[in-house]
Amino acid sequence: MPRVKEIAFTVAYLGLQIGLVATAGSRADGAFGFRMFSESTELEAHLVREVGAGEVHVRGGEWIARDRAGAPRRIKWGDRVRRRELATFDAAIHASYGARAQIARWQAAVDDVAAHTPDDAETRRLSVDLVIRRNGRAAEKVRVSSAPRSP
């Protein structure tokens, strides 16, 4: 009888592994998939704050905004996001796991920063403009934005 359990476990384990490999393309980072030649992608990120009726480009991931009481506060993207590939602005960096993975990670980062900056009562929305160069091709622009923030 123990052989039946071992066989069932082996079949279930192999089925799970085959399922992970077969669905790798549906995940942004392609986890569990095989790529003989990795994507060679560079990207530049540019942080933008939507304030009032306009947009303000943020240099270096730091800005000064007024809190609810009207006092100026220094907000630093790097206080919330520690990963270098998600906190480097206005400079080209290598997208280690490809463009899709980096776009998904930037989206999560912009959502997180927007949700966790209570000292900024001026910013209506945060966006990151990504300039992506896949495998030496022409640049492609993608914007990831947070949900609107309440004043």
The pLDDT of residue 7:
83
Q: Which residues pair with 64 in a beta bridge?
A: 74
C-alpha–C-alpha distance, residues 94 and 102, integer Å: 10
C-alpha–C-alpha distance, residues 8 and 11, integer Å: 5
The pLDDT of residue 12:
84
Residues lower than pLDDT 70 in the chain: 1-2, 24-39, 151
Question: Cα–Cα distances in Å, from 49 out to 62, 98, 111, 124?
Answer: 11, 26, 13, 7
C-alpha–C-alpha distance, residues 143 and 129, integer Å: 4
The pLDDT of residue 135:
80
DSSP 12-78: HHHHHHHHHHHTGGGSTT-TT---SS---EEEEEEEEEEETTEEEEESTTEEEEE-TTS-EEEEEHH
Give this prediction's pTM.
0.75
The pLDDT of residue 2:
67
129-139: per-residue pLDDT in tens? Answer: 999 998 878 99
